[in-house]
Amino acid sequence: MQQLEVINILKKNLNFSDHSIEKLKKFTNLVLKENKNYNLIAKSTENQIWHRHILDSAQLVKFIDFNVSSMADLGTGAGFPGLVVEIFNKNKAFHVKLYEKSPVKRKFLMSVITELNLSAEVLGDIRDEVIDSEIIICRAFKKLDQIIQVSREIAKKPHKLMILKGQNAQEEIKNSFKTKKYPYKLESSMTNNDSKIILMEIKK
């Protein structure tokens, strides 16, 4: 799936505005340019960046309530999915917080935020920070049981977890629920028939 096809889906299915699409184009160019120096995304996925990274991240907007106060993206890397959600976001009172332990990636994120005039906040390693968001998202971060542990131990309030996972999503849920079960839903991914989005409620 190439750029034009993905842009069509972003506009028609996910309600991205023309203004947001222009920012996504600039964002992808910045990622690809910086990827020559640092490994922000796998080199093998560069020519599929719109499908593998942008659309994969963007599909989360279907499940996000933009009326809450903030959303945390754990291990955001180059800004997937957090910066894509920030680019979509139309509510100035909704704050996107990007947690990333790599100083190189944090520097890149801050440069993108400045360049695209975004208002996301860049923070460090989750274990050194406070997580007080109503929504926590992540992609390619850790295994589900570790994500649940992090969100239960570090997050300060009840929250929704939204996790982009591959074909082992159901298996990871089974392994994670050995001691305690949580309400969850599995949604199909728009980018891969075998991939899933795990939506989970974590009550404190």
Strand-pairing partners, residue 198, are 163, 186
Tokens representing residue 168 in the block: 């082992």
Q: Which domains does the chain have, with CATH numbers?
A: 3-202 (3.40.50.150)
Position 73 scores a pLDDT of 97
- The pTM for the full model equals 0.95
Helix residue spans in the chain (DSSP H): 3-12, 18-34, 56-58, 82-88, 103-115, 144-154, 169-176
- pLDDT cut 90: percent of the chain above it: 76
Digit-coded pLDDT (tens) for 37-62: 999 999 999 999 999 999 999 999 99
Tokens representing residue 108 in the block: 């890149």
